[in-house]
C-alpha cells in the first residue's frame, strides 16, 4: 500500500514538560557516573579529539532563524560517524567485565545498517577478538567493504534491519557469542546502555564548545532512538528547563519513533523502511532509548527523502560565507529537517521556531559511503573541498 503523506509530519508530544526533572527512569539508562566513565575512557583512546561544532550563519539566515550550530561527526576518528563512540566503547566495557576470564575466546556480533557494525568491528580488531557482522539486504556494498576492512566476518540476511537483529541474536545464542547491539529488547539492556553512554561524549564536547550559548531547539535524527536519547539525556540532566527543545527526526519510510509517540507506547514503523537515510531505516524502536525519548522529546517529525538531498547539497556548497561540509545521507537529516520547516508556517509556530531561534543540529556522519554521496551531491567528498 502506498501512503500519501505531506512533505513533513509533525507530532507535538504532550508528555513533554520542560519543567520535568531528569528522573530515575532516565538515570537508569544514562546516569551521571556512566557519562563520566565513558568520557574518561574514550578521551584516553589514541587519536581522540573533539569533533568540531561549526556555526553556520548563512544557512541560519536562509532558514529565518538567529543562530545555527552543527556538530560534525564526520570528523569522528577515522570512522566518520558518532557511532564510533558507542560500539567500540561497549566492546571495551565487555572486555573489562571479562577481566580475569579469557577475553581471547570472546566473539562479538551485531546487526547494522553500516556505522554501528563498523564501530564494533573496530573495537574488536583493537582487542584482537573475533567479530561477526550481520547486514540486511539493503546495506550498500561500500558499507560492507568498510566494515570488512576492520577484519570482521560479514553475514548477509534477507529482509530488513530488524530481521538482521533477530538473526544475529539467534546465531549468538547457538554459538555462544556476545551480541553488542545498539538496540535493546526485553532482557537485553546492559550492552545497549553502554553504547548510548558512549555517545554522550559528543554532548559533553558540545556543552564545552557552546560555552555560555544556549540553543533553543535541537534537531536530532533517530533510527532505533539511541542517538536522540543519548543527546537529549545530558541536556535534560544538566540544563533542566533551560535545555533546547528536542525535535526527533525520521524519514517518512522508517517512522517507528513517530508512531510510538502517536500511540503513546512502543509501536512499529508504518513505512516500508526504504529510504535514502539508510542508517535510520529501523522498524522498531529501542525500548531503552524510549525510556528517555517518551517524556524527553518535545516533538517528533518525519519528512521526505528529498529534503536530505537538499541538505547534503546545501552543506556541500556552503551558504554565503559558510564553510563547505561533507555530511552523509543519515547525517544530514537534522539539517534537512530544519530546511523542511522553512515554509511550514504552522509547524514553525507550534515549535516556536522563529527569528529568535537558536538551533543545534547533529551531523551524525560524513560520507560513509562515498559512492552514494557522489550520486546525491554530484561531487565526490574530495572535490567538495571541506577544510580539514
Ligand atoms: C549516521 C547515523 N545517524 C543516526 C543514526 C541513528 O542512530 P540510532 O539508531 O541510535 O537512533 C545512525 C544509526 O546507525 C547513524 O549511523
What three-state secondary structure class fits 360? strand
What are 208's three cell numbers?
Answer: 564545552
Is residue 83 part of the annotated active site? The answer reads yes
In the set 75, 80, 83, 118, the catalytic residue is 83
Return mean pLDDT, the chain. 96
| 203 Cα–ligand 1 center, Å | 15
What are 304's three cell numbers?
Answer: 521526505
CA distance 323 to 364: 17
pLDDT digits (tens, 9 = 90+) for 127-159: 999 999 999 988 999 999 999 999 999 999 999
Is residue 75 part of the annotated active site? The answer reads no
Best residue among 223, 225, 292 to mutate for probing ligand 1's pocket (most ligand atoms within 8 Å of CB) is: 223
Domain residue ranges of the chain, discontinuous segments joined by +: 8-82+200-384, 84-181
| 132 Cα–ligand 1 center, Å | 20
**What is the per-residue burial (b if ≥16 Cβ within 10 Å, else e) of 137-159?**
eebbeebbebbeebebebeebee
pLDDT confidence of 100, banded at 50, 70, 90?
low
Q: Which residue's alpha carbon is at the smallest distance from atom 9 of ligand 1?
A: 223
Binding pocket residue ranges, ligand 1, CB within 6 Å: 81, 83, 113, 115-116, 182, 221-228, 279-280, 282, 330-331, 364-365
What would the mean pLDDT of 324-336 be, rounded to a whole number? Answer: 98
* Pair 77, 47: CB distance under 8 Å: yes
Q: Radius of gyration of the chain from Cα atoms?
A: 19
Residues 6+ apart with CB under 8 A from 11: 258, 261, 262, 299, 300, 301
pLDDT digits (tens, 9 = 90+) for 50-67: 999 999 999 999 999 999
| Whether domain 84-181 has CATH 3.40.50.1100 | yes
Domains 8-82+200-384 and 84-181 share a fold: yes
What are 299's three cell numbers?
Answer: 516533538
Which top CATH class is 8-82+200-384? alpha beta
Work out the end-to-end distance of the chain between its first and last CA atoms, rounded to an integer number of angstroms: 46
Question: Does residue 15 register a pLDDT over 60?
Answer: yes
Amino acid at each position: 500500500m502506498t501512503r500519501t503523506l505531506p512533505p513533513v509530519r509533525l507530532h507535538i508530544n504532550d508528555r513533554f514538560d520542560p519543567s520535568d526533572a531528569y528522573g530515575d527512569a532516565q538515570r537508569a539508562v544514562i546516569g551521571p557516573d556512566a557519562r563520566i566513565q565513558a568520557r574518561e575512557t574514550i578521551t584516553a583512546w589514541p587519536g581522540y579529539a573533539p569533533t568540531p561544532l561549526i556555526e553556520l550563519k548563512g544557512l541560519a539566515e536562509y532558514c529565518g532563524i538567529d543562530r545555527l550550530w552543527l556538530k560534525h561527526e564526520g570528523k569522528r576518528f577515522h570512522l566518520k560517524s558518532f557511532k564510533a563512540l558507542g560500539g567500540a566503547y561497549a566492546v571495551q566495557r565487555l572486555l573489562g567485565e571479562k577481566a580475569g576470564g579469557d577475553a581471547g575466546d570472546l566473539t562479538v556480533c551485531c546487526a547494522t545498517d553500516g556505522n554501528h557494525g563498523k564501530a564494533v568491528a573496530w573495537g574488536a580488531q583493537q582487542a584482537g577478538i573475533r567479530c561477526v557482522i550481520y547486514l540486511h539486504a539493503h546495506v550498500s556494498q561500500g558499507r560492507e567493504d568498510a566494515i570488512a576492512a576492520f577484519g570482521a566476518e560479514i553475514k548477509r540476511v534477507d529482509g530488513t534491519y530488524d530481521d538482521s537483529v533477530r538473526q544475529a541474536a539467534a546465531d549468538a545464542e547457538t554459538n555462544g557469542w556476545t551480541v553488542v547491539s545498539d538496540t535493546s529488547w526485553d532482557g537485553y539492556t546492559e550492552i545497549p546502555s553502554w553504547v548510548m553512554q558512549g555517545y554522550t561524549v559528543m554532548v559533553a564536547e558540545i556543552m564545552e564548545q557552546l560555552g555560555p550559548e544556549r540553543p533553543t531547539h535541537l534537531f536530532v535524527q533517530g533510527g532505533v532512538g539511541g542517538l536522540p536519547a543519548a543527546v537529549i539525556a545530558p541536556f535534560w540532566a544538566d540544563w533542566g528547563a533551560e535545555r533546547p527543545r528536542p525535535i526527533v527526526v525520521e524519514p517518512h519510510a522508517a517512522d517507528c519513533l513517530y508512531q510510538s509517540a502517536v500511540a503513546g507506547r512502543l509501536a512499529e514503523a508504518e513505512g516500508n523502511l526504504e529510504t535514502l537515510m539508510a542508517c535510520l531505516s529501523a522498524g522498531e524502536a529501542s525500548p531503552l532509548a524510549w525510556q528517555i525519548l517518551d517524556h524527553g522529546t518535545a516533538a517528533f517529525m518525519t519528512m521526505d527523502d528529498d529534503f536530505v538531498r537538499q541538505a547534503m547539497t546545501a552543506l556541500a556548497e556552503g551558504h554565503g560565507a559558510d564553510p563547505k561540509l561533507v555530511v552523509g545521507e543519515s547525517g544530514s537529516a537534522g539539517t534537512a529537517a530544519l530546511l523542511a520547516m522553512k515554509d511550514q508556517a504552522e509547524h514553525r509556530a507550534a515549535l516556536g521556531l522563529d527569528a529568535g531561534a537558536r538551533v543545534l543540529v547533529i551531523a551524525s556522519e560524513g560520507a560513509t559511503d562515498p559512492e552514494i554521496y557522489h550520486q546525491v551531491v554530484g561531487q565526490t567528498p574530495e572535490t567538495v573541498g571541506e577544510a580539514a
